[in-house]
Structure 1
């Protein structure tokens, strides 16, 4: 954990020095800003992993029909089914564990921050943080009433700490739930929602918020601020990706097609293939809704036009 202590303390001390230009160095505001700054730096560094997570999740959704075929073929042999499924993932260049990478990588950072605060509460410095800074961190109070080192179960009888901790635990739980629900309701196809991966995600939809909610009662206010800020970043980042680059065949993809069609209509541009205009799907890319042209009759001999009969008005020779 020592390298993490140094990495976290470098970022926190840097943001703390910036915040100290406005707030008192021992104030809760200065240290909360340093925690938020640490969160933003970490999440920005994890963007490549987040992109990899999105691609992996999308590939796994697209492979669901093939996974179902394997289940029908090897449903009686679980070992063979597992081997064939992993081989399918390998050939497609995807990894089921990639969707968990951001969370897995964040856990050591989360634990390091937890331990850093725990040591600071005892006046012990870690990383590049000085003893003076550790004491300031441990004694910092948000809004002058909420020591950021206290927890919901260790609140020293401080009502403000209880209120703040409950609010942050609820926010952390709610953002975890909404982020997972956003993914399932908007960026998963109907086939994917019926697959085994969807069943696992449905379980996680309720289990993860419950785990964080129960664990949150033992987290210091500072750690709750970090985790809630991280969840808000995840939710916003995921919303942006789903809105602008949704998985094909999902409700988010249909919504994007509709928005793009409305945007082109406002600009007076011709609709594209797949656009929905006035309840009608455009089938051709260059369809501009022109009225159908009248079919011109072909030139025919008079005998064909009269059905082979002579005109009664024509005189005989």
Structure 2
């Protein structure tokens, strides 16, 4: 057992427990133990448990992003203060003032990474669980030899769940190659759609005007293709887990955009307008919405050309 596997031992034990619990539940409901659908449903059950447990982290991520937006003006003041100063002392001072600002407002730029970081140990723990099962090696806890053999023989839509793209190519298992190809395309599409929804509807107008937004827009077309790596390296069962988790993220993000949009974003204006029409906004919220809409409309208007006669007349009326 390697160092990384040993480090993940407690998480592997929990992953085995949850996976086997769902497998036994569906078996008790009448599904065959070695059926591919039984194991796929068990994997989906694991997704539900994991993603439900990290909902508090997701909410923390949203609150942190809100606070980071509120810090925008103060952050720009600090950056302007040290603009052009490249010496070590100035750079250290800027970092200290920046971190002091984070502490003051109780936020952290790394908070947006918490949900992903929390899932990675579980993902790799599941990888080791499924790899051992694919090699017909019992697990460290609940994955007995019987269950290991059951997974080994599991076939979903004609494709063995234990196989990766490379193994299927060597074995001539076209069903696995086709199914993995479909999953990779769907994962790329779902990831792209999720990021596009965020950037087009849930980003404030101020952020859209920043250079960072333009950089993130480029990444929008690059990051989804990282899923090609998972499709080639990891077994079919693990790709099903990742794809299902992706779908959860997409649905969750749609709910967040609809119910908890970023202030100043298109989604926020739409939500405030709906609440205003229903009479559910306070006077202060109505005033803020009118202010934002007024600024947006003014910015979108083109200055009409004025003749010298009209300009003179206007000046005389003042």
Please report the TM-score for the alignment, with normalisation by the length of structure 2.
0.79
The answer to which structure has the higher helix fraction is 2
Please state if 1:149 is matched with 2:156. Answer: no
Question: 1:125 deviation in Å?
Answer: 1.6
CA contact (8 A) 1:62 1:192 kept: no
Question: 1:58 deviation in Å?
Answer: 1.3
Question: Are residues 248 and 281 of structure 1, via their aligned partners in 2, closer, same or farther at CA, if it must alter by over 3 Å?
Answer: closer
> 2:56 is matched with which residue?
48
Q: Secondary structure at the match of 1:217?
A: helix
> 1:179 is matched with which residue?
194
Question: 1:203 deviation in Å?
Answer: 5.0
Alignment of 1:1-317 (within 5 A): 1-20=8-27, 21-77=29-85, 79=91, 80-126=93-139, 127-143=141-157, 145-155=158-168, 156-195=171-210, 198=213, 201-202=216-217, 204-262=219-277, 264=278, 273=283
Question: 1:12 deviation in Å?
Answer: 0.7
Please report the TM-score for the alignment, with normalisation by the length of structure 1.
0.79
Question: Are residues 142 and 188 of structure 1, via their aligned partners in 2, closer, same or farther at CA, if it must alter by over 3 Å?
Answer: same
Question: Are residues 59 and 226 of structure 1, via their aligned partners in 2, closer, same or farther at CA, if it must alter by over 3 Å?
Answer: same
| Equivalenced residues, count | 273
Which runs of no fewer than 5 residues in structure 2 stay unpaired? Answer: 1-7, 292-318
1:55-107, Cα deviation, whole Å (9 max, x unpaired)? 11111122222222222211223623333222222211101011001101111
State which structure, 1 or 2, has the greater radius of gyration over its C-alpha atoms. 1
Measure, in 2, the Cα distance between the counterparts of 1:228 and 1:179: 13
> 1:302 is matched with which residue?
none
Measure, in 2, the Cα distance between the counterparts of 1:100 and 1:257: 28
CA RMSD of the aligned region, Å? 2.3
Question: Are residues 188 and 165 of structure 1, via their aligned partners in 2, closer, same or farther at CA, if it must alter by over 3 Å?
Answer: same
Measure, in 2, the Cα distance between the counterparts of 1:230 and 1:56: 22
Q: Secondary structure at the match of 2:167?
A: coil
Q: Which runs of 4+ in 1 moved over 3 A?
A: 194-204, 269-276
1:255-289, Cα deviation, whole Å (9 max, x unpaired)? 10222244x2xxxx69864669xxx969xxxxxxx
Q: Secondary structure at the match of 1:247?
A: coil
CA contact (8 A) 2:47 2:245 kept: yes
Measure, in 2, the Cα distance between the counterparts of 1:83 and 1:272: 39
Measure, in 2, the Cα distance between the counterparts of 1:91 and 1:246: 24
Question: 1:167 deviation in Å?
Answer: 0.9
